[in-house]
Amino acid sequence: MVLRKISSLFLFLMLSLLTITFADNKVVAVFPFECEAGSYRSRRIASGMGNLLENYLVQLGTFRVVERGKLDKIIQEYKLGMAGMLKPETAKEVGKLLGADYLVFGRIEHTEYDYRSGNLINLLVTARVVDVGTGEICYSVSDEVNRLNASNLPRQAALDLAYKITSEVTGRTIVLPISLRWKRYGSVFLSGAALAVLSLPPFEGIWAYSLGLDPYWDESTIKAYMTVGMFIGIGTAGYALYKIYLNPDKYQPNELLGDIIIDHDSGWMSSMPEIPDKDDLLEVKVLNWRF
């Protein structure tokens, strides 16, 4: 009876935590990036940067992002460039139509290509965040990445912008996205949950067989083991859920993505020590993103 009550409480807590939602998240609209006029290659990069930034903002779990089709419709209706959209009255009107709290306007400021291979070797991007409530630019962030291979460089720039925007708007340290929390602690949760389930009365025979005990003569011993197994299983699964939902780990790029970084001033590659705080987190540039 006690085991059943404990298991029922455990299942209730699991379901409660697993149904946590983030309905109060702010809504952000990411407009297509602009670029220097006359550069075909820069236009190609700009065309994909908005989507990359959207994806990373969604994966961070802090914002809800306006659907691209709805955004394109508004852009076609107003037919304004970034300069026009940045006007306070226009920004407030567009933001309300989109149901957004913030508007993000990005721009490719500079690109540099290797004269031999033609690969992109330097990329400077900026993003302005407009508060729809006031129509004013509330945050402006920039990022410069270089010496990465051509396919990773725009992704890294978009990733850096996503973390900088999130940190600026929320004013807090960035934690692991929910998908990576489950990747890190999911197996711990499943192991604990499996042990808790196997400690229920229907599985008494498995315990007897595993311990080499007689179910008839050693019933009290088997139940004692099962009770201990139940508590260990609940504790393990509960710890995993605690780390996933209530106290997630701080995002540490060097830990998740490899321990090699690039010094953008010297161009040297070196090992990255553990990141101690948010400021270092926002400055680091990591080679390979593995979302």
Helical ranges in the chain per DSSP H: 2-18, 40-60, 68-78, 82-85, 88-98, 153-170, 178-198, 204-211, 219-241, 253-257, 278-283
φ/ψ of residue 79, rounded to 5: 50, 50
User: Does 42 share its domain with 98?
Assistant: yes
Residue 113 included in any domain? yes
Among 145, 170, 195, give the residue marking a domain's end.
170
Residue 231 included in any domain? yes
71-80, 84-93, 104-113, 251-260: lowest mean pLDDT where? 251-260
Burial class of 91 by CB neighbour count within 10 A (0 to 12, 13 to 18, 19+): buried
Residue 251 included in any domain? no
Q: DSSP readout, 207-223?
A: HHHHHT--TTTTHHHHH
The span from the first CA to the last CA of the chain, in angstroms, equals: 45
Range of the domain at 107: 26-170
User: Does 30 share its domain with 94?
Assistant: yes
Residue 30 included in any domain? yes
Give the pLDDT confidence score for residue 263 in this predicted structure.
37
Query: What confidence tens digit (pLDDT) does each residue in 158-206 have?
Result: 888 888 888 888 877 777 777 778 888 999 999 999 999 999 988 888 8
Reported pTM: 0.57
Query: What confidence tens digit (pLDDT) does each residue in 213-257 have?
Result: 776 778 888 889 999 999 999 999 999 999 998 888 876 543 333
User: Does 166 share its domain with 30?
Assistant: yes
User: Does 119 share its domain with 59?
Assistant: yes
Sorted by sequence, the CB contacts under 8 Å of residue 279 that are 6+ apart come out as none
User: Does 123 share its domain with 242?
Assistant: no
- What would the mean pLDDT of 9-24 be, rounded to a whole number? 49
* Cα gap 87→261, rounded to integer Å: 39
Percent of the chain with pLDDT over 70: 72
User: Does 31 share its domain with 107?
Assistant: yes
Among 170, 191, 221, give the residue marking a domain's end.
170
Strand partners, 217: none
Residue 4 included in any domain? no
pLDDT of 267 strictly over 70: no
Sorted by sequence, the CB contacts under 8 Å of residue 164 that are 6+ apart come out as 127, 141, 143, 282
Select from 170, 169, 155 the least CA-distant residue to 290: 155
User: Tell me, what CATH number does 118's domain have?
Assistant: 3.40.50.10070
Distances (CA, A) of 186 to 179, 191, 236, 241, 256: 10, 9, 11, 9, 16
Residue 252 included in any domain? no
Give the pLDDT confidence score for residue 231 in this predicted structure.
95
Residue 289 included in any domain? no
- Residue 15: strand, helix, or coil: helix
Q: Pull the structure tokens for residue 96.
A: 């309300």
Query: What confidence tens digit (pLDDT) does each residue in 18-49 have?
Result: 444 443 588 999 999 988 766 788 888 888 89
**67-73 contacts, C-beta under 8 A, 24 or more apart:** 70/98, 71/29, 71/30, 71/31, 71/98
User: Does 32 share its domain with 166?
Assistant: yes
Count of the separate structural domains present in the chain: 2
User: Does 143 share its domain with 36?
Assistant: yes
Select from 288, 205, 192, 170 the least CA-distant residue to 243: 192
User: Does 52 share its domain with 147?
Assistant: yes
User: Does 165 share its domain with 83?
Assistant: yes
User: Does 193 share its domain with 140?
Assistant: no
